[in-house]
Amino acid sequence: MVDLVFEIGGPQGGGIESAGQMALRVFMLKGYRVYGTREYHSNIIGKHSYFNIRVREDRALAPNLPADIVVSLDAESVFTHFNDVGEFMVYDTGVLSKDIDSIQSMSKYLKARVKEELDANGVPHTVDGVIKLLDKRGKKTVGVPLRSLLKTTAERAGVSLVSISRAINTIGMAVGLSLIGVELEHLEKAIELFFAGKQKIVKPNVIAAQVAYEYAKENFSSIHRKKMPDGPHVNPVKPRLVVSGNDIVAMGKIAGGLRVQTYYPITPAADESLYLEKFEDFPLTPEAAEKLGLERGGIVVVQTEDEISALNMAIGASLAGARAATSTSGPGVSLMAEALGYAGIIEAPVVITLYMRGGPSTGMPTRNSQSDLLTALFQGHGDLPRIVIASGDHEEAFYDAIKALNWAEKYQTPVIHLLEKAIANAMKDLFNPDLSSVVIDRGKIERNPPIPFPRFKYTEDGISPRAFLGDTVVWYTSNEHDQYGRRNEDPVERIKMQDKRLKKFETAAKEIPLEDKVTLYGDPDAKITLVGWGSVKGAALDAIEILKEEGINVNYLHLRMFMPFPSEYVRSVLEKATTVIGVEGNALAQAAQVVRMFTGFEIPHLIIKYTGRPIFVQELVDSVKHVLNTGDKKVVLSLGQ
């Protein structure tokens, strides 16, 4: 079975993004599932960035190392990724003499570690030294004269090369693809797809690919892999898309009927709003257009002055009857704390899409973390329940984005949809999402409301019918209030009103099906259980498969809804296992604390990662085995640059 990792690195802005995008498309055209993880610094231009692309037949949901092939477009990539190499290292012969100390953009701490390793192996601190070390380790090192291939490309293209970065990257990537036996035609098609409409760029890139393939054929035929077999999806019946987590949430929101999105620019959330903005005026399906007599839909996307305004504005839009959401990350959601409570007390339906990144404070803006779970659950003052759902992959994110909009309106509450950088920025192939099972449920809406309107009427399920501003006279206040929304501090009414608000969440807990809250993957009778959430899912699913092949039967309990929390089910699964290991991407083991709070079960072993990098499959496998062998209570993961 094909399970391949293709890694390409270079300077931020130096064509790594388009190289990765093209490579993803190549493997999709080849019939595979793909998962592309991007890593980059909080820097616009010039620091190191890379793309780790996982290629599999059935499921690609997590990055892995070692990489079958590492393509290094510059010297820094060689120094940064030589330990990632599984089989091939493609490098530029033009930088062989480059000394690690001459690379200004590289972190001094990484430099020191690399130099120590090179010293220990008796090789110089140059690219040449690293290549010698890799040769010693039996890796296939593939030197490519990038500049002369670029020259050939320029001559053959007969035009001035408009984009140097985008020809160099194509050459490097193409040599890499050729080495692992991918046909040139797929790359040519991928170039056309990715640069659709930009003929000026397509042509030189296709030529660059051809030049690279010719060069690889002439020079590396002895180490070349044989032709890569076609994957199972080489002729897919349904349209396939390649999307980031940000993209797919935007798509989910459009499918889910979002009509007002507010945001203040922040990483890693902003791309979602930018993408919504791009498609703010969108076509309806022909069937819907006919039924509604309306061809198009439109989303008002507002870039606000700050996140405080973003959430308050979304709340305002929701009171007037539009599905409204905002999108942010840790620092932004901190500013939203007060408005979250406001939405809670006035029972305003609003969705906050929260993309976690390394914190606290500005922390590591471009790096992954799962450290805002406690924030999502407990931010805001007062007795303030909310719905908190965490997506584990792109597909979950799509449907969760729709469900979040439904839950917000149905239970008239803020919903926090948790995602993380590892998903937001990872590119994933998807079949066109199936909407046949998707329901748009706006909850209790009074279309012919009396004047004035008892907006907060006591009901059995705690949910009062809603009327929109403008359909009648409705009163809202951030103060405690009576059934008409008028300020009221009567102690007897206070109990009733507070209980009504809490009751909604009992109703939600009952009505929301278990499969939306938690999933147990693998053998339900396995004695070893991993507990995780969010992006841990991808690595965990692979890990339990690999461990099974090694004779270790492990299942994975994937937590999705943290409020209302499926306490009984989680407790029953955990109590059945003899060994429970929590896996998560934060230092406090926040989900483990939440599990204990809601179930009383203390997870005895923890595998955690807070380097800001995603959990790689193999390090999870190794660490699970380590826990099983040693009984260690805590393992801290650190793989990846």
Partner 1 sequence: MASEKVRYMADTWKDWCPGCGNYGIITAVEMALKELGIPPHKAVDVGGIGCSGKLPEFLAINGVHTLHGRPIPVATGIKLARPELTVLISAGDGDTLGIGAAHFVAAGRRNVDITLLLHDNGVYGLTKGQASPTLGLFIKTKALSKPNINSPVNPILLALASGYTFIARGYAYHVKQLKEIIKAAIQHKGTALVDILQPCPTYNNVYTKEWYEQRIYYLDEEENWNPVVEKPEELEKKMEQTIAKALEWEERIPLGILFQDKTKPEYFERLKIRIPFIEDIPPYKQPIDVNGKPIVDVAQIFVDKLVI
Partner 2 sequence: MNTWIYKRAIDLGRDGAEIPATRICNNCKYWRPHVFYEGIGVCTHTWPWKMTFENDSCEHFEQIKIDKPGFYWCATCKTRVTPEDYMEHLKQGHRLYPMPYLEPEVREELYSVE
For residues 382, 593, 520, 619, the Cα torsion angle rounded to the nearest 10 degrees is: 130
Among candidates 338, 310, 420, 325, which has minimal Cα distance to 371?
420
Question: Does position 35 bind partner 2 by CB under 8 A?
Answer: no
Cα 509 to Cα 496: distance, rounded to the nearest angstrom: 20
The number of angstroms, rounded, from the C-alpha of 423 to the middle of its chain's C-alpha atoms is 1
Nearest distance from C-beta of residue 486 to partner 2, angstroms: 44
Nearest distance from C-beta of residue 376 to partner 2, angstroms: 21
Question: Does position 173 bind partner 1 by CB under 8 A?
Answer: no
| Residues in 450-469 that interact with partner 1 by CB under 8 A | 451-452, 468-469
Q: Which stretch binds partner 2 (CB under 8 A): 37-45, 117-125, 451-459, 590-598?
A: 37-45
| Residues in 483-522 that interact with partner 1 by CB under 8 A | 485-487
| Residues in 123-162 that interact with partner 2 by CB under 8 A | 145-148, 150-151, 154, 160-162
Q: Which stretch binds partner 2 (CB under 8 A): 35-43, 277-285, 334-342, 344-352?
A: 35-43
Which C-beta is closer to partner 1: that of 130 or that of 427? 427
Whole-Å CA distances, 241 to 21, 56, 234, 482? 12, 16, 14, 50
Sole binder of partner 2 in the list 60, 95, 212, 559 (CB under 8 A): 95
Cα 80 to Cα 10: distance, rounded to the nearest angstrom: 10
| Residues in 230-269 that interact with partner 1 by CB under 8 A | 236, 239-243, 247, 251, 254-257, 259-260, 262
The three-class DSSP label of residue 526 is coil
Question: Does position 429 bind partner 1 by CB under 8 A?
Answer: yes
Tokens of 253: 């929101």
Q: Which stretch binds partner 2 (CB under 8 A): 6-14, 56-64, 182-190, 459-467?
A: 6-14
Question: Does position 432 bind partner 1 by CB under 8 A?
Answer: yes
482 binds, among partner 2, partner 1, none (CB under 5 to 8 A by kind): none
| Residues in 348-377 that interact with partner 2 by CB under 8 A | 362, 365-366
The three-class DSSP label of residue 97 is coil
Beta bridge partners of 531: 557, 582
Nearest distance from C-beta of residue 550 to partner 2, angstroms: 38
DSSP 155-172: HHH-S--S-SHHHHHHHH
Quick check: 504 and 345 in contact, CB under 8 A? no
CB atoms within 10 A of CB 306: 12
Which C-beta is closer to partner 2: that of 162 or that of 288? 162
Quick check: 534 and 423 in contact, CB under 8 A? yes
Which C-beta is closer to partner 1: that of 204 or that of 485? 485
The three-class DSSP label of residue 521 is strand
Which C-beta is closer to partner 2: that of 41 or that of 503? 41
Question: Does position 425 bind partner 2 by CB under 8 A?
Answer: yes
Sole binder of partner 1 in the list 18, 312, 379, 623 (CB under 8 A): 312
Look up tokens 């399906």; give the residue. 285
| Residues in 265-294 that interact with partner 1 by CB under 8 A | 279-285, 287-288, 291-292, 294
| Residues in 65-94 that interact with partner 2 by CB under 8 A | 73-74, 93-94
Nearest distance from C-beta of residue 193 to partner 2, angstroms: 15
H or E element, residue 4: strand 3-11
Quick check: 501 and 458 in contact, CB under 8 A? no
Cα 187 to Cα 29: distance, rounded to the nearest angstrom: 9
Look up tokens 């993880």; give the residue. 37
Residues that bind partner 2 (CB under 8 A): 10-18, 38, 40-46, 49, 73-74, 93-96, 102, 104-105, 145-148, 150-151, 154, 160-166, 168, 265-268, 270-271, 362, 365-366, 425
